[in-house]
Amino acid sequence: MVTVNLIKDGGQQFSEEFQALNPMKQVPALKIDGITIGQSLAIIEYLEETRPTPRLLPQDPKKRAHVRMISDLIASGIQPLQNLSVLKQVGQEKQLSWAQQVISSGFNALERILQSTAGKYCVGDEVSMADLCLVPQVANADRYKVDLTPYPTISRINKSLLTLEAFQVSHPCRQPDTPPELRA
């Protein structure tokens, strides 16, 4: 039997206990197989390597490279720049415009990439690690009132993903630590 403990509660991440698990005090962190893994992409890759069903990385090396490129673009190029810790440094009066600018800039690049990689989802017609990164980032775009009209491919893929039960139940607006004003 496998014991899995995914820690993603925004308040818990600042506790001393959590800092012992992840010195960066960032979520998520996954306790599994006797180890603790921090960072979303590392968690996804570990699960892919140890529990490869369903596959989150395509067999084809070119498609796999596209999945990793898109995942990195979102997880490293967009998401960190509108984290709450960064927004606090920007200042209350500039937070909304900062987040909108960062997300729009990243979505401009992502939209161009997806126009050549997308099928039903980010890369072809199978759900991949890239799709796992896309949905929460679109949720953040909604949170920060980013106009998604210039991003028809992103919007179409997100809409397709949200028809899948796994994405419905794991959506950020349905998590126990979601602020009441952002809940579904």
Please tell me the predicted confidence (pLDDT) of residue 3.
Answer: 42
pLDDT tier at 13, thresholds 50, 70, 90: low
Which of 17-26, 30-39, 172-181 is the least confident region? 172-181
pLDDT over threshold 70, residue 12: no
Under a CB-based contact definition with an 8 Å cutoff, are residues 50 and 42 in contact? no
Helices 129-143 and 61-72, packing angle to 10 deg = 20
* Chain Cα centroid distance, residue 74: 7
What average pLDDT does the structure give for the chain?
86
pLDDT value at 132 more than 50: yes
Does residue 25 surpass a pLDDT of 80?
no
In angstroms, the CA 176 to CA 156 distance is: 27
Q: What is the mean pLDDT of residues 156-174?
A: 86
pLDDT tens digits, residue range 54-110? 899 999 999 999 999 999 999 999 988 877 778 888 888 999 999 999 999 999 999
pLDDT band at 168 (very low <50, low <70, confident <90, very high): confident
Q: What is the pLDDT of residue 175?
A: 66
Angle in degrees, CA 64, 66, 69, rounded to 5: 110
Indicate the pTM of the whole model. 0.84
User: For 47-71, b where at least 16 C-beta lie within 10 A, e where not — what string?
Assistant: bbeeeeeeebbbeeeebbebbbebb
CA neighbor of 9 nearest in space, from 1, 122, 18:
18
The predicted-structure confidence for 141-155, as pLDDT tens digits, reads as follows 998 999 999 999 999
Amino acid at 5: N
So what's the pLDDT on residue 9? 47
